[in-house]
Structure 1
Amino acid sequence: MPVDPHETALQEIALHRSGEPFVMLNLLRFAPDGRASYEEYSRRAAAFLRQYGGEVLYAGDGDTPLVAAQGQAWDAVLLVRYPSREAFSRMVADPGYREITSLRSHALDEAVLQPTTPWTRRAG
């Protein structure tokens, strides 16, 4: 299962609404003994998040799903806010950040990284 974004997807994200803040949904399934590696990745990634204006809004363990297809339970869920897609793209292109991504890759068996766009209130 894929755990790292494809280079084409990274290029695309910078082009889509690049000036607006967004929240990245992270769904994580750890490899056996992968949690420690992910915790080390998170500790090191925190400096890059701060540098590029990112902020972890929520991080927690998955629990028993109420509605999900078989095999869709996740070990952890994170919501990370970025000031823009361009800022996210600069962060993941940073050579220092790229040096630590192997910690994340080795920690996970499966992942979903889903950029989200906020709903706006509609006059009614």
Structure 2
Amino acid sequence: MDVTNEVMPTSAERINEMLEPGPDGPIYMVNLLKFKEHAEYEDGRETDLTGRQAYGIYGRGVSELLPEYGGKIIFVGDVTFLMLGQVEELWDEVAIAQYPNRGALVAMSSSEDWQALAVHRTAGLAGQLNIETIAPSR
């Protein structure tokens, strides 16, 4: 299995899939995050922030924005050890966010508020994987 970290979707097909309704009920987005050593802002601004610190600005803002779209942060934690499997390099952090549905995620990430925060996300991330999951029906 090849793994490619991305900061934004790179294919029109993936973007179109994101715009589909998705599963019924809540979704959980598992975020595997890899930070840049030093934040790099696209507008060229000078900064002493690390990638983790820049992403932290984004994360705090999103945690306040999520409830407006029916979402919430479920878990955030540092990656400390790979117990099973092999990967060239570990991710730095795992975050899980809950949304009422995929449409809420798309609406939030299309909002002006999210766009304003996303400059810190892009500055801080070397790449990430976003994995949509649902709770199994019991």
Amino acid at match of 2:20: L
Distance 1:36 1:15 in 2: 33
Q: Which runs of 5+ in 1 are unaligned?
A: none
Amino acid at match of 1:29: K
Structure 1 residues 105 and 82: alpha-carbon distance in aligned structure 2, compared to 1, 3 A threshold: same
| Residue matched to 1:54 | 71
Does residue 39 of the first structure (1) align with residue 25 of the second (2)?
Answer: no
Distance 2:129 2:107 in 1: 20
What percentage of residue pairs aligned between the two structures are identical?
26
Where has structure 1 moved over 6 Å in runs of 4 or more?
none
| Residue matched to 1:116 | 133
| Residue matched to 2:31 | 26
Q: What secondary structure is seen at the aligned counterpart in 2 of 1:56? A: strand
Q: What secondary structure is seen at the aligned counterpart in 2 of 1:15? A: coil
Q: What secondary structure is seen at the aligned counterpart in 1 of 2:117? A: helix
Task: Report the more deviating stretch, 101-110 or 22-31.
Answer: 101-110
Q: What secondary structure is seen at the aligned counterpart in 2 of 1:77? A: strand
TM-score relative to the length of structure 1: 0.86
Amino acid at match of 2:118: T
Distance 2:30 2:7 in 1: 14
| Pairwise CA RMSD | 1.8
Distance 1:73 1:40 in 2: 22
Distance 1:110 1:84 in 2: 24
TM-score relative to the length of structure 2: 0.78
Distance 2:22 2:94 in 1: 24
